[in-house]
Chains A and B, each alone.
Chain A
C-alpha cells in the first residue's frame, strides 16, 4: 500500500532546498521504524515522492508526499510514528492509505493556493487587481529551453483576491502548465506601475480536479 501524507514546512525552514528537505524526510522515515520500501541497486534509498517541490524561501502549510510501504499500517499509527521522528518545524498533519494502483499525487496535481503577505499594500490596490484580471491576455516573458519567450498567464490564474494585507492566489501547477506566484506578483506590480513590496509567500494547499471542481489534492 501507499500512504498519502500531508505535512507542513514551517516558516523557519523556508530556506531549505528541495533536496535537503527530501533527505530530512527520508531520515525521519528511517527513524520512524515504519515498514518502508527501498529502491533496488547499489545505493538503496527510501522510495518517496513529493507532489511538488517547494521553492527555496517558501513555507508550505499542506505539502504532500507519497510513501510506499512494505505492508499495511493504519493511518493513525503512521502519523503517530512519523510525528515522533520529525522535528517541530516539520509536523505531519494527516495520512491516507491508498492502494498500489492509485495514481501518484504528482499526476493528479493541477493547481495550488498561495498567500502573499505584503509588507505594504499600494493605494487602491483592489482596483488595480480588478484591472489586471480584466485583461484578455497577460503576457510575460518566461525562460524556456529555447530562451526567453512570451507566454500568456491569464488562463493560469484561477483566483486572485486581496484580503487586508494578504494576497490570495490560486494558480496553475501541473506538468502541463505552471504559473509561479513570484511571476504573478512581478507581472501584477508591473501592471500597477509600483515597486513590488517585500512579501512572504506561503503555499497553502495543493489542488486537483474532480468533475471539473478543484478539490484538495490529498482527498483525491
Chain B
C-alpha cells in the first residue's frame, strides 16, 4: 500500500475493536523482500484472525510456500465487521498482514475452505480487495483466485468465483499449481491457456472448462468438460508418506489471544472408523501416521522456535494412533523441565497416562470432550459410531478418577431414522454420566462437583458420506426436537446447548449445492450477509430472500431425499471412496448394520485400488488389540 494508505490504516486501527489482530509482525511470521521473488501468494483465511491463526492447514501451506526460494506467502484474514465497514468507507483496500501489500499486487489469492458458512466472507474479502467476485469479470492482469480444503470436495457452489480448486492433500499439488501459474505468467500466456495447463494437473478442477445442464425439476441432467484439457473426473490428491511430507517446524506466534494458542502436532491424517455422517472421515482416507522420530523432531523444533507453553496433538481420532502412549510419554519426558503442557487430544486415559498424571501436572485438565453423537445403541449402529455406553461410562469414570470434573457431550439430532426414543436416550446418557461421577469415591474425584454440557447440533448431510442422499430435518421438526430435548435434559448438573437451526439448514444447502448456489451466495452477500458463522451477524431472512432472488428454494437442496439415480453435483470428483461403497454403507445403515473398523480388515471402500492405503494388506488387528476405550474426538 502507498504512504497515504498506511497513514489511513494507522488511523483506522485506533477506531476499531481488537486492533492488534491487524498488525502482523508476529514472531516467526515470514517477511521476504518483495522484489526478490518470482511469485507472490496471498493466503486468505475467510474468517477472522483469531480463528484463522488457529488453523493447522494454513500453517502448513504458509510454511511450504515460504520454503520456496522463488516465492513468498503472506497471510490475509477476514476483518471483523467494524474494520470491514471502516475500510470500505474510507477506501482502504484489503492488505496482507506481513508487508501490507494490497491483494491486487499478488499473483495468486488462495482461500482455504473449512466451512460453508464462511463463503460470504470470501466475497466480502474480494470486494474489500477490489477484485470482482465473478471470475468471468476479472481481467487477465488480476491475480488468480484459487481454493482448497475439505469443502472444495464439492466445489460447485463457488464455481462462479474461483479460477481453480485443489482437491485433496495440498502439499504436492500446491507446488505444481504455483509453478504452472508462475511459468504461464512469465511467458505472458493468456489466462485461459494457463487455466488449461492447470486443468491438466491431477487434483485440480477448473470450473471454467465445465458445463452443467439441469432438468426441468431442477436436478442436474449433465455435467461435462467443454475443453480437451479438462478431465471428466478430477481425482483427489493423496500424500502417501506423511513422515516425508513437509511440516512447519516454526509457526507465527500471535501477540493477541486466539482460539487455539499453542503448538499443534499433526500425528496422523485420516480415520479408519467409518462413521457414516462424518465427511472428514471419508475425505481424508487413507489413514497415514507420522513416525515417532519425525514427530519428536518436529516437537523439539516447534517448541524451540515458538516458546509455546502448550502442545496439542491433532488428527481425526488421535486415540487410534498406534503409539499414542509412547508418544505422550516421550513428550512429557522432554517437556517436564521446559514446563510445556501436553493437552490430550481426546479421552484415552489408559494406564500410562494415568500414571503420569499422578507424577506430574503436565497433562492439562481442561474440559473433557466426548462425542457419542447419538443417544441409543440402535442409532449409534445406524451411524456406525463404534462406541457403546459401557465404553463411554468407563472413559468418564477414568477421567473423574483422575480429577476431571467437567464433561462435554456432543450429539447430533436429525440423524436418519431418528425417533423420540433416541432423543430420550440423550437425556439418559447425560444422567448416567452424572451418576458415574457420584460413584467415584469422594477422595478421588474433584471437589468442584460435576458439570455435564450436552450439545446437540443439527445433522447436516454431506457429500462423499453414506448419508449424502439423505433429507435434512425441516426447521420445524428441528424446533420440536429441540423442545423435547430441553425437557429430557432438565437434569441436575446438566446444561444443554443447541444450535441455530437456520444456519444448519443453509449449511446443508451449500454443502450439497450446485453451481446455481453460487448466485445465491452472491445475492446473500449483496444483501449484507457476511460472518454468518457469528451469531450476532447471521441474517437468516436475508439468505431466504437471496434464494428467492435466484428463483431457487432451500427445500430443494436441504429437505429432499435424493434418489440414487440422481446425478450429484460433486460426482465428477473422485474422492477415492467410491459411490458404490457409499450406497452400500447407506443401505447397511437402514438395516442397522455396522461396518467394522478398517484396521480389522479392509472394507473395500474404493481406495484399495489406489495403492495408497497401508491397511489393505495389513494383517487385521485382533479383537484383543482393539483400543481399550474407543476414542471420541
Contact = CB atoms under 8 A, between A and B. Distances in A.
B is a partner of A: yes
B14 A57 contact: yes
Contacts of A38: 339
Interface string A17-42: 10011011011111101000010001
Contacts of B307: 26-31, 85
A89 interface: yes
A15 B23 contact: yes
B91 interface: no
Nearest to B252: A87
Given A31-B305, A31-B307, A38-B339, A16 B26 contact: no
Given A24-B255, A57-B14, A15 B27 contact: no
A182 to B, nearest CB: 13
Interface in B480-521: none
B255 A13 contact: yes
A31 B340 CA distance: 12
A164 interface: no
A103 interface: no
A31 B306 contact: yes
B20 interface: yes
B540 to A, nearest CB: 35
B256 A28 contact: no
B526 interface: no
B349 to A, nearest CB: 20
A165 interface: no
B257 interface: yes
A82 B11 CA distance: 32
A12 interface: yes
A150 interface: no
A150 B597 CA distance: 74
B88 interface: no
A87 B27 contact: yes
Interface in B3-30: 11, 13-14, 19-20, 23-29
A201 to B, nearest CB: 12
A165 to B, nearest CB: 15
Nearest to A32: B307
A88 interface: yes
A44 interface: yes
A20 B306 contact: no
B628 interface: no
Interface residues of A, number: 27
A57 B29 CA distance: 22
A17 B255 CA distance: 9
Given A20-B255, A20-B256, A28-B307, A86 B27 contact: yes
Nearest to A21: B255
B27 A24 contact: yes
A54 to B, nearest CB: 13
B338 A12 contact: no
B257 A27 contact: no
Contact of A42 (B11, B29, B255, B361): B361
B308 to A, nearest CB: 7
B304 interface: yes
Interface string A139-152: 00000000000000
B253 interface: yes
A30 B27 CA distance: 13
A87 B25 CA distance: 7
Contacts of B338: 30
Nearest to A88: B25
Contacts of B20: 15-17, 20
B172 to A, nearest CB: 31
Interface residues of B, number: 25
A85 B307 CA distance: 9
Contacts of B253: 24, 27
B227 interface: no
A13 B339 CA distance: 27
Interface in B289-304: 304
A16 B304 contact: no
B555 interface: no
Contacts of A89: 25
A44 B340 CA distance: 10
A21 B308 CA distance: 14
Residue among A16, A21, A30 having the largest count of chain B Cβ atoms under 10 Å:
A30
A42 B360 CA distance: 10
Given A17-B20, A20-B257, A57-B14, A27 B308 contact: yes
Contacts of B27: 24, 27-28, 31, 85-87
A44 to B, nearest CB: 5
Contact of A13 (B14, B25, B29, B305): B25
Nearest to A24: B255
Contacts of B361: 42
B213 interface: no
Given A16-B20, A17-B20, A31 B304 contact: yes
A24 B29 CA distance: 14
A16 B23 contact: yes
B13 A15 contact: yes
Interface in A87-105: 87-89
A16 B339 contact: no
B185 to A, nearest CB: 31
B26 A87 contact: yes
A43 B458 CA distance: 38
B399 to A, nearest CB: 18
B587 interface: no
Contact of B309 (A30, A33, A86, A87): A30
A187 to B, nearest CB: 21
Nearest to A19: B257
A38 B338 CA distance: 10
Nearest to A10: B25
Contacts of B19: 15
A21 B253 CA distance: 12
Nearest to A57: B14
Interface string B269-307: 000000000000000000000000000000000001111
A31 B309 CA distance: 10
A38 to B, nearest CB: 6
Contact of A12 (B25, B28, B256, B257): B25
B320 to A, nearest CB: 30
A88 B31 CA distance: 11
Nearest to B27: A87
B316 to A, nearest CB: 29
A15 B23 CA distance: 8
Q: Nearest 7 pairs between A and B by C-beta?
A: A27-B307, A30-B307, A31-B307, A87-B27, A15-B19, A15-B20, A20-B255
Interface of A: 12-13, 15-17, 20-21, 23-24, 26-31, 33, 38, 42, 44-45, 57, 85-89, 198
13 contacts: A12-B23, A16-B23, A16-B256, A20-B257, A27-B27, A30-B309, A33-B304, A44-B339, A57-B14, A85-B307, A86-B27, A87-B26, A87-B29
Interface of B: 11, 13-14, 19-20, 23-29, 253, 255-257, 304-309, 338-339, 361
